[in-house]
Structure 1
Amino acid sequence: MKKIALIGSYYPRKCGIATFTYDLYNALQKEENDCQVIALNDGNEYDYPPEVKWEIKQQNLEDYLKAAKYLNQSGVELVCIQHEFGIFGGKDGQYLLELIKRLKLPVVTTFHTILDTLTSIAWRTPPEHYEPCSRYPSFMGRLHPFVAMTNQTFSRIAYGFEFCITTKNT
C-alpha cells in the first residue's frame, strides 16, 4: 500500500482533468492505496468530497507553497500531478513549479497536453532542474516518471528522459 497524493482539478468541478483525477483516485483506492487529493480551485466554491485534504486557489502562490509544506509533512510517499497548460497559476504555470521545487517527494506527472512552443518563462529555470531533458526543462528536469496521453505527445518530450509511459490506444 502506498500513500499517494493527487494534485489537479477535482470533482465536482466540471472539467476533464477533474473527471480524470476523480477516476484515478477511485482506481488507486481499489488497489488498496491510501490516497488523498489536493484540489486545484478555479475560484468557485465547491463542495468537495472527504478525500480532498487541501485546496489550492489557482492564482494564489501562497497556497502552492503551503501545499508543498503540507505534502512534505503528511507522510505521503508519492505525488501524482495531473497537468494541463492553463490550469495552474502564474505565468505559464510558474506556481506549480514553485510547489515542485519545494517537494521532497517523488513526483509523477501526467501531461494531458503538450504545447508545440513554449514561452520564455518555461526556459528560465536554473540548469540544475533541467539537465535530463532539453525540451520542457522547467517540468521535466525536476520530475520523476511521467505519463504522456498520446504517442505524439510522448515523442515531443520523451527523448533524453529515462522513464516514460504512453497509452496503447494511439
Structure 2
Amino acid sequence: MAASYGFLSTHPPTQCGLATFNSALSAQLTAGGRPGGIVRVISSGEDERAGPGVVHTWSPSSGTGWQDATEALNTFDVAIVQHEYGIYPGPDGSAVLPLLRALDRPPIVVLHTVLAQPTAGQRATLEEVVAAAGAVVTMTETARDRLLIGYAVDPAKVTVIPHGAGDHTGASTTSRARPHLLTWGLIGPGKGIEWALRALARLRDLSPSPSYTVAGKTHPKVLEQHGEEYRTSLQRLGALLGIADAVRYQPVYRDEAALSRLIRSADVVVLPYDSREQVTSGVLIEAVAAGVPVVATPFPHAVELLTDGPGLLVPHQDPSAMATAIRRILTEPGLSDSLVGRTGPVAPTLLWPAVAARYAALAAGLRTANPPVLATPPVPA
C-alpha cells in the first residue's frame, strides 16, 4: 500500500517561496490519488479558509497551535516539514520543536535556510530541529557543508536533494524585437534590482538595446511594513537613468503555464541579489532547468550551480561587471549556446518528478528503519 504523506508548511494562497515549493512537492507525491494532506501554517491576518488538500490550518490565533497540527499530521504515514525560522511561532520559530517531538514517526525536515552566522537562539533551534528529525534535507551541497561544519548535528541524517523545477521546455514564447532580460519572484530590499537597472543603463548602446522585466509582487511582509516603497524607488531610479521605457514591472502572480512562457521569453535571467547567505534559490533552479543563461551575484547557491555551469557570476553591487556579463551573452558568438549546453546533464535531475522520487525513496527508507509501533493485544483472562 502506498504511503500517505502529511506536509507542514506555508501553502497557497500564501505567496512565498516555501508555499510554492510545498505546493509543487505535495502535488507530485500525492499525484494519481495517492493519499496526503497539508497542515498549512499562516501568519496573523492571513485568510484561514482551507484550500484544496489542506486538512488543518495552524493559526497564531489558535490556542492549541502545535498540538492540533501534530494530531493532523499523525494521521499520515510520513510527515514532511518545511523549516524556515520566520514561519512558526515562538523565538526563532521554536514552537515547531514540540510538534516534531510528538509526531508518531520521525519526520523529514527540509531546511530552506542554513545561516553561516546564526544567533545563539537560531543555532540552538536548528540543532534541536535536526535532533528531532528522522531525516534532514538540504537543497545544496553548500547548505549541507555549512550545517555539518557550523552546527552540532548527526551527519548521517542529512541528504542533499535539489530544489525542484517545472518543465518549461515546451512553453511557447512570443518573438521579441529586443533582447529580453528577466528577474522574477517576490521583490523587496535585498533583491538588488537597483544594480540591474544601473547595468541596463550601460547597455543602451546595443542595437537593439535590451528590455528588462521585473515580474512579481512585493513580498507580503515588506508590503505590510513599507508598502510599495522599494518598487517606487526602482521606478524613480529608472527615470533618472533614462531607461524607464525599457523596464516593465509586472506585479502579478503567474500560474505554471504563464511562468513557463515568461521564463522562455528571456535571453538572460538576471539575479542581482545582495545576499551572501542564500543557499537555496528556486528562481535560479527554474532558470537553469529552462535552459536560459543566468547572470548572478555570487550568493552561495549561484556559486555552486553556475561555476563552470550555465551562467556567469559577477561581484555584488557591481553594475559595470553585470553589464559586461550581459553584453557578452547577448553579443559574443556561441556563448549563450555554450552556457545552455552545460545544463544538459543536470536539467532532468532538477525537474519535479525526479526530485519527488528522491523524497519518496527517502521516506521509504525512513519507514523501514522506523516501523510503526503496534499496540500489544491484551492477554485473555
TM-score grouping bracket, smaller chain normalisation: 0.7 to 0.9
More strand by share: 1
Quickly say closer, same or farther: Cα 1:60–1:92, change in 2 above 3 A: farther
Taking the TM superposition and a 5 Å limit, the aligned residue runs for 1:127-166 are 136-158=126-148, 160-166=154-160
Q: Kindly indicate whether the alpha-carbon contact (under 8 Å) linking 2:55 and 2:72 is maintained by their aligned counterparts in 1.
A: no
1:48 offset after TM fit, Å? Answer: 3.3
- Corresponding letter in the other structure for 1:78: V
Percent identical:
22
1:36 counterpart letter in structure 2: G
Residues 59, 89 of structure 1: 8 Å contact kept: no
Residues 139 and 161 in structure 2, CA contact (< 8 A), matched pair in contact too: yes
Q: Is the 8 A contact 1:12 1:46 kept in 2?
A: no
Distance 1:152 1:124, change over 3 A: closer
Q: Is the 8 A contact 2:5 2:30 kept in 1?
A: no
Q: Is the 8 A contact 1:4 1:34 kept in 2?
A: yes
Contact in 1 for aligned 2:7/2:80 (Cα 8 Å): yes
Look up the match of 2:109. Answer: 109
5+ residue gaps in structure 2? 163-284, 286-304, 306-381
- SS of the aligned residue for 2:5 comes to strand
- Is residue 81 of structure 1 aligned with residue 81 of structure 2? yes
8 Å CA contact 1:11–1:48 kept in 2: the answer is no
Q: What is aligned with 2:53? A: 51
RMSD of equivalent CA atoms = 2.3
Structure whose residues are more often helix by fraction: 2
Partner Cα separation in structure 2 for residue 142 and residue 48 of structure 1: 28
Q: Equivalent residue for 1:132?
A: none
Tell me, yes or no, if structure 1 residue 119 matches structure 2 residue 119.
Answer: yes
Sort the Cα spacing of 1:146 and 1:100 in 2 relative to 1 into closer, same or farther, 3 A: same
TM-score w.r.t. length of structure 1:
0.81
Secondary structure at the residue paired with 2:92? helix
Q: What is the letter of the counterpart of residue 25 of structure 1?
A: S
Q: Structure 1 residues 3, 97: closer, same or farther in 2, change over 3 A?
A: same
Q: Does 1:10 find its partner at 2:11?
A: yes
Tell me the secondary structure at the aligned position of residue 162 of structure 1: helix
- Calculate the TM-score normalised by the size of structure 2: 0.38
Aligned counterpart, 1:34? 35
Larger Rg: 2
How far apart, CA to CA, are the structure 2 residues paired with 1:96 and 1:52? 18
Say which structure, 1 or 2, has more relative contact order (CA 8 Å, 6+ apart).
Answer: 1
Find runs of 4+ consecutive structure 1 residues off by over 6 angstroms. none
Work out the CA distance in 1 between the residues paired with 2:104 and 2:63.
18
Query: Using the alignment, how far apart are the partners of 1:140 and 1:2 within structure 2?
Result: 23
CA contact (8 A) 1:82 1:109 kept: yes
Q: Which runs of 5+ in 1 are unaligned?
A: 126-135
Q: Distance in 2 between matches of 1:141 and 1:31?
A: 33
The answer to whether the 8 A contact 1:61-1:89 is kept is no
Inter-CA distance 14–122: structure 2 relative to 1 (3 Å threshold): closer
After superposition, give the CA deviation of every residue in 1:43-99 in whole Å (9 maximum; x if it has no partner).
Answer: 211543231000011475721122113333x2x111001111211110011101121
